Chain A
Amino acid sequence: MASYLYCVRSDAQQPEGVVGLDGAPVRSIDAGTLVAWVGDVADGSVDVTVERLRAHDAVCAAALTHGDTPLPIRFGQSFADDAALVRAVADREHALRERLARVSGCVELRVVVTRGRDVDVNEQTPAFATPDAIGSSASVDSADVDDEQQAEGPGTSFLRRLARAGRADLAREVACEEVRHSVRAAVGDLIIDQQRCEAMRGVAFFPVLVRRSDVDAFRAAAKNILPSQQIDLSVLGPFAPYSFSTDA
């Protein structure tokens, strides 16, 4: 059996009744002056599955509910045994303590932009003239499709779809940056830290670190203050501070 690491914390909060990957119970072990929440896995390599990702996240979420904010560990880190795990954690104790101090008393929220403003439907791109609506934010009325487009070949059609998808992505990213700056201007006093916008898998988002007591206020402010015309967004969380636990 190998030892799998979920999170590191500065207090002695016990993982009572917490279950991790593949139903294995989570336990705590002392790692220098820190405490690690760990579990047993069958061998040193851990295959990624959605179920295991959820299990890992659930352990970190459980760790967040009691005591001070833990430092969530990236999925998939296992060690030959507890002794090896403790050595690895102890070797990085100073850096981990710094990060724990940084996130102490805080949680991560993620502002996710799922749709940016529609691009002008008459906008022309250099290579592809398209009167179609852009991206997923508006439906395309087949009656409006230009005769010329109906005659285009599959290659051109494919490239036109790429162009539309790319512009939808760009619209989301632009909107996300607008949202990020608007939030900072409006409720900057609630934000302990934030990261730049990222785009992934069809959405754009930015994470913020806020005090636990400010979660509701931030969520209300994000939805009420921001320019909302044609921008769809959600505020996800609170989560353990994954985005603020990595190397600077």
Chain B
Amino acid sequence: MLSIKDLHVYYGGIKALQGINLDVKEGEVVALIGANGAGKTTTLRSIFRLTPIVKGDIYFYEINLTKLPSYKIASLGIAHVPEGRRVFPNMTVKENLEMGAYLVKDKKVIEKNLEFVYNLFPRLKERQKQLAGTLSGGEQQMLAIGRALMSNARLLLLDEPSMGLAPLLVQEIFSVLKKINEEKITLLLVEQNANMAFSIAHRVYVMETGKIVLSGPTEEIANNEAVKKAYLGG
């Protein structure tokens, strides 16, 4: 479905990514883990062309994303849940969700998607008239995920959905992510919370300073001694 080939991204003189190769197959949950500054977020942002790509290609099926402007990428069925949530603070919850369906012209489909999101996150329905800026961090994360789902996306890119949230909320979010995957939506997940990521991922990539150092099925990675030491607390 998605394949990244030999991707290099430089910020000025800093080589953020040095030849990333990554594949996501339809229906999978793929987790990308690594320490701060390893290049996880950069990889995700590159898919949406939000970074200066020096070399390499990103394919979504047969389409080369590096040749497209950012706003066109959403129309292919890829949705991005950005780091730090980035909801539209002065719009209501419902308006935020409607913005997510900006490219969907059919009103019935929008209704249906809205129903789907409200079922996943009943809390959003309760607060649909509230300004998004006044929501709690967890609710904003739900809103950001809901907004991404409104676009009929087949591939969801999630950037640190657990960031800054209470452990209980993190569990709630991840159980919803699992439900979303059961609806045949593919997930590419960037996480620092490796334990949570392993709980839903089929496959895992481990990044270190701009390179992928390890990849494989979740059980294999979770039992790797080095990974255990570095990410799972012994």
Do A and B come from the same complex? no
Binding site for A on B (CB under 8 A): none
